[in-house]
Amino acid sequence: MYMDYEQNVSMPCGVENCEECYDAHSCDFCYEGFHVVTNETTTDNGEFFVDYFCEQNTEPPTCLENEYVGEDNLCYPCEFGCQQCFDYDGVCEFCEQGFELMTETMADGSTYVFCQETTTTCDVGLFYDIDFNECRPCADGCMDCSAHHLCHECVTGLELQWTTDQTEAWCVEPSTCLETEYLGGDGNCYPCDMDGCLKCYDGDGQCEICADGFDIITGTETDGEFTWDYSYCQPLQGCDWGLYMDETGVCQPCSYGCMDCVDAFTCNECEFGF
């Protein structure tokens, strides 16, 4: 459409398949699936003309994963529950999580392909694998999972262990690590290697308890796709009376009877009575 200011009305574009134009013979934008083509000509008496056309696209567009390219080179959504379908006919190739690919023979003998919500119930320790259309085993020690390495409940005697990015979880033996160690995702013990950390969480080694002279700092970070928590120990800006800060930033006690000291052997001020 364009505005005819002489008649003060909106008028349709004169070029076929043109969506926007500035007069009846031009075209700025074509409808989806078409693009503007111009043809410039000069008459024998020197007059210059430009003809506009909307030509159908020959290169298929880039559609979303759950869309397909139709015969008119436009993108159309796949049917409900379908994650990926074939171009031009839209027949489903892969279903979304929680759906299974089904086929049905129609009265005319043709085959109808569609996605149906999964109704299969698996036994304890199994999960429904949509790619194989069957129940498959969870990881060892897991009694309820939604994928092989995504456990929700462990058998008695085992503990659920998440990866740092929270994308996988499996069952491990209860932690037998020292207080200054943590249980890694591979089931091994590793030392809490953060300055000032006395105890850290299993799985990712984030600090849980800081030593004297440190504050615990917690927060959340995200990279746009995943979100995770963090915690670490930060040295205090100063120590209380009767303490001094050593070279590692930890507050240590002054010598007996000293209220203010530089180190364990150099006292600046004694307590009352000393």
Q: What's the rounded Cα separation, in Å, for the pair 165 and 102?
A: 35
Convert 195-260 into a string of H (helix), E (strand) and C (coil): CCEEEECCECCCEEEECCCEEEEEEEEECCCCEEEEEEEEECCCCCCCEEECCCCCEEECCCCEEE
Cα–Cα distance between 251 and 238 in angstroms, integer? 8
How far is the C-alpha of 173 from the C-alpha of 75, rounded, in Å?
A: 51
Q: Using one digit for the tens of pLDDT, what is the confidence trace for 202-260?
A: 666 688 888 877 788 888 877 777 777 788 887 766 777 888 888 877 788 999 889 88
Residue 138 and residue 123 in contact, taking contact as beta carbons nearer than 8 Å: no
The residue type of 138 is C
The DSSP output letter for 91 is -
Average per-residue pLDDT for the chain: 82
Q: What is the pLDDT of residues 148-174, one digit of tens each?
A: 888 989 998 888 887 766 778 888 877
Pick from 244, 216, 221, 248: which is nearest to 231 by CA? 216
